[in-house]
Chains A and B, each alone.
Chain A
Amino acid sequence: MQASSYARDVAVTPATKLDAQKLRADFAVFEELFNGKPVAYLDSASSTQKPRQVLDAMREFYEHSYANVHRGVYTLAERATAGYEGAREKVRAYINAPSNREVIFTRSATEAINLIAYSWGLDNLGPGDVVVITELEHHANFVPWQFVAKKTGAEFAHIPIDDYGELQLDALDEIAKRGNVKVVANNLVSNTLGTINPVEKLAAWAHEQGAIMVVDAAQAAPHRHIDVQALGCDFLAFSSHKLCGPSGVGALWGKRELLEEMQPFNLGGEMIRSVALERTSWNELPYKFEAGTPAIAEAYGFGVALDYVSEIGLEAIEAHEHELVVQAMDALLEIPGVRVFGPPADRRTGIVSFELENVHPHDVAQILNWEGVAVRAGHHCTQPLMTRLGVAATTRASFYLYTVPEDIDRLIAGLHKVKDTFGA
């Protein structure tokens, strides 16, 4: 449609544009050939590629600043601690948290949510209470709550979605009648559909009910500006590996009052104040929740990745991904037999899930692989959502700051090859 493409052009401020082609030089993987072709990497929602800046910084850290943190008095240990704590400050700034003490390094966003479910949930939930999640949660923000609800006798309720994959908030009144709502857990962005969820509204509703609001920001933090104070949530989790950082490290932010009341999640070294045969007292925040030697260099690399992404600019990343999503959705919908799931382009981040009639997503992904196109096929750890959509699996293409329009052209060409193979 001519009118809408014109409107799109004027909506994007040229100053916020990023040059994906130029950024690709930071990623060695794009120089390599797979099946004779460079990779069209369309699986960034699963995990992103890593720029040299992050890898070089981690190597430098290991070579010149590495020791265990918070212990030694020697120079190396001081450097290591400074690097690790510096990363904590970068995480704090990235999500506009009020205090460093509220930022806990975890192994992943998944572990961060498990920490809340176990440490807060087991002590604060019981019969008559209601735990509320949504139909489009990732299993990471679904299964821990289902488990803890079952263990404590609390009810487990879900907010349904409409046919566009948007939350049906008019269901909230009915849910409130089922008992004392104690937890509302939702992803800020759906990993399968890219839907941007109304977390501020949910947080306000949660607080009216006397509940805590838990936000899974794993799919949001790499792509959009996050401000935990503006969101009004109580906990927020995200990970490093989805925003150009190393895997093995994630972050949990929580309100100090809540974190202080909670029991530790893991027990051992670092998280204690004093230990005697009779009793042990916990260390102060955030160390109470960081038992054991953490992923030191990874946390440091996480901080460098936050710098890398911030320097490019989240507004520029968002605008870039929006252009790609529009291109992909327009092109996909021109292929007969393709069904695209989820909301319109302006209501989602750089994620497009679709199905090709009569061909299973696994077969789609296999044939695309031979064309050098990397997509995800499966249920994307969102089986309840798959059930709602009436499919067993979808094919998902997801974009990031290094994705170029040619990647999407290759996806589309590959899909025509799939159709030829299957006669679909």
Chain B
Amino acid sequence: MSEMEQMYREVILDHYKSPRGHGLIENADAQAEGQNPLCGDEVTISVKFAADGETIESIGFEGRGCAISQAATSMLTELVVGRKASEVAVLPKEELLEEIGIPLTPIRLKCAILGLGVLKVALHKAKGTPLPQEWQGMGDDLSFA
């Protein structure tokens, strides 16, 4: 299989074209959005917790971006349902990358882990779980709103 066929293997294109967990949840318990400034990928993720207020009962996302970023976020939704917020907050990226199962250059790696970062930000906002290092100390807002 060529490098190209490997990166755009069937499962990636399938998740990209028919994303799982697509669409935001109304009255979500946690929500966050994020961008990958390198290529303009965007992902918003919303989470609903189970009655224990800790277990992820459902998760939904919306976004636009490259096949890798959107397929990886789709796979992520399948990976985290039923798991506790505290556990997902420290979920190593390798677990997601194993799921994606293709070799990634450093730039494409950022695409692949965008959704995971955004999910951790959402959990941080709702539960105060630790923020991933690359999301700490984001610059001051320059918006003129």
Main SS of chain B's interface residues?
A: mixed
B39-A361 in contact (CB<8A): yes
Q: Which residue of B lies closest to A362 (CB)?
A: B66
Asked whether A120 is an interface residue with its Cβ less than 8 Å from the other chain, the reply is no
| Residue from A146, A156, A360 in contact with B67 in the complex, judged by beta carbons closer than 8 Å | A360
B40-A379 in contact (CB<8A): yes
Residues in A neighbouring B68, C-beta threshold 8 A: 362-363
Q: Which residue of B lies closest to A367 (CB)?
A: B4
Asked whether A112 is an interface residue with its Cβ less than 8 Å from the other chain, the reply is no
Main SS of chain A's interface residues?
A: helix
Given A150-B142, A150-B144, A360-B66; A421-B40 close (CB under 8 Å):
no
B3-A370 in contact (CB<8A): yes
Given A362-B111, A363-B8, A421-B8; A392-B40 close (CB under 8 Å):
yes
B4-A392 in contact (CB<8A): no
In whole angstroms, how far apart are the Cα atoms of A166 and B70 in the complex? Answer: 33
Asked whether B1 is an interface residue with its Cβ less than 8 Å from the other chain, the reply is no
A392-B65 in contact (CB<8A): yes
- Give the number of chain A interface residues (Cβ < 8 Å): 23
| Residue from A150, A366, A392 in contact with B42 in the complex, judged by beta carbons closer than 8 Å | A392
Q: Which residue of B lies closest to A421 (CB)?
A: B8
Residues in A neighbouring B2, C-beta threshold 8 A: 370
Given A146-B142, A362-B39, A386-B40; A421-B4 close (CB under 8 Å):
yes
In whole angstroms, how far apart are the Cα atoms of A359 and B39 in the complex? Answer: 13
Residues in A neighbouring B38, C-beta threshold 8 A: 378
Question: A152-176: which have CB < 8 Å to B?
Answer: 156
A367-B40 in contact (CB<8A): no
Question: How close is A222's CB to chain B, nearest CB, in angstroms?
Answer: 24
Residues in B neighbouring A147, C-beta threshold 8 A: 142
In whole angstroms, how far apart are the Cα atoms of A366 and B69 in the complex? Answer: 13
Asked whether B64 is an interface residue with its Cβ less than 8 Å from the other chain, the reply is yes
Residues in A neighbouring B4, C-beta threshold 8 A: 366-367, 370, 421
Question: B1-37: which have CB < 8 Å to A?
Answer: 2-4, 7-8, 13, 37
Asked whether A34 is an interface residue with its Cβ less than 8 Å from the other chain, the reply is no
Question: How close is A159's CB to chain B, nearest CB, in angstroms?
Answer: 16
A378-B7 in contact (CB<8A): no
Asked whether A143 is an interface residue with its Cβ less than 8 Å from the other chain, the reply is yes
Residues in B neighbouring A143, C-beta threshold 8 A: 142
| Residue from A146, A156, A363, A383 in contact with B66 in the complex, judged by beta carbons closer than 8 Å | A363
B144-A146 in contact (CB<8A): yes
Residues in B neighbouring A150, C-beta threshold 8 A: 142, 144
Question: B35-65: which have CB < 8 Å to A?
Answer: 37-42, 64-65
Residue from A370, A377, A383, A392 having most chain B Cβ neighbours under 10 A: A392
Could you list 8 further interchain pairs (A-B, Cβ under 8 angstroms) beyond the known A363-B66, A366-B7?
A: A360-B64, A366-B66, A366-B108, A378-B38, A386-B40, A392-B42, A392-B65, A422-B8
29 chain-A/chain-B pairs, Cβ below 8 angstroms: A143-B142, A147-B142, A150-B142, A150-B144, A360-B41, A360-B64, A360-B65, A362-B41, A362-B66, A362-B68, A362-B108, A363-B68, A366-B4, A366-B7, A366-B66, A367-B8, A370-B2, A370-B4, A378-B39, A378-B40, A379-B37, A383-B40, A392-B65, A393-B39, A421-B4, A421-B8, A421-B13, A422-B8, A423-B13
* Chain A residues engaging chain B, CB cutoff 8 angstroms: 143, 146-147, 150, 156, 359-363, 366-367, 370, 377-379, 383, 386, 392-393, 421-423
Q: Which 10 pairs between the two chains have the least Cβ-Cβ distance?
A: A362-B66, A360-B66, A393-B40, A392-B40, A362-B39, A379-B40, A370-B4, A378-B39, A363-B67, A363-B66
